[in-house]
Amino acid sequence: MGEVGRARLEAELARHYAAQRDEVAPETTDALVAAMVAEDARIRRVQSRRMGTAAFVASQVRYIPVWTWAAQAALVAIMCVLAYAAGDAGLTRVCIGILSAMCVLIGVPTVHASKLNRVAELEYACPRNAASVLVARLIVLGCSSALAVALMVGVTAQAVDASVFEVALWACPPLFLSCAGSLMTLRKAPPASAPMLSVVWTVACSAALLGLSAMIPDLYAQTSLATWAAAAAAALVWLVREVVLTVQVVASGLDAFSPHLARTYN
């Protein structure tokens, strides 16, 4: 087909499609333009109301699985039963430490969710990136765990006739150690094995507590409060270190936070 024939064909096609096109009334065009202007104004208003830090942290509550809250409530209920029905003050004292550590373990899947579900790359592309999400969920889960442990401490203190401060010292070292160890697995372990390693770590902490209570009869005596305070302080220092390191790793990018995922794109 020559140039003249091609030009004639294009002209015929243009006339054909022009004949098929419906006429648009000016009123319809004006309505469409008005709708576009209104939608643009709505989007600008939404963008101007950026979510604050407190609101963002609060918004993460809906992403915490319901079973997490149910499991923490169940631990509180178990502690209440043990405190008043066990009839053994020594067992109650050990259980407050073990159940406190388990409160942290319950939240591990949610903290590891970005790596477990392989959505870390997507979170890094959001205005509130993976580091913001991690910190927000740590705050939410930390508050819920603290509330659960506080309830268990209050029940235990009343049941064994001890001060709240004394019982809190029994609960804090296992709580802090379990949390610090879980965060360390988040940083270093592959996503698939991190939750199980957290379980192993928490079980090891609980076994160590049981062993110490069996070997040291005065472990929960008044004279041991200074030792409990020192253990709680040391565990807290490690926990703070792990929180800082974990946030730094997440903030440094996908290659550092999830190298096992990042390697698949290289």
| pLDDT tens by residue, 104-155 | 888 887 777 666 666 666 555 566 676 777 888 888 888 899 999 999 999 8
From residue 88, give the alpha-carbon distance in Å to each of 3, 49, 60, 91, 212: 101, 56, 40, 5, 17
**pLDDT, average across residues 42-71:** 77
Secondary element (H or E) of residue 38:
helix 26-48
**Is residue 252 predicted with pLDDT exceeding 80?**
no
Percent of the chain residues past pLDDT 90, beyond the cut: 19
pLDDT, position 180: 92
Percent of the chain residues past pLDDT 70, beyond the cut: 81
Least confident of 27-31, 171-175, 203-207: 27-31
Angle, vertex CA 52, rays to CA 51 and CA 57, nearest 5: 95
pLDDT, position 262: 45
Helices (H), 112-222: 113-116, 120-124, 130-160, 164-188, 194-215
Q: Are 64 and 110 in contact (CB under 8 A)?
A: yes
CA distance 146 to 151: 9
CB contact set of 152 (below 8 Å; sequence gap of 6+): 75, 76, 79, 96, 99, 100, 171
pLDDT, position 241: 94
* pLDDT: which is higher, 255 or 229: 229
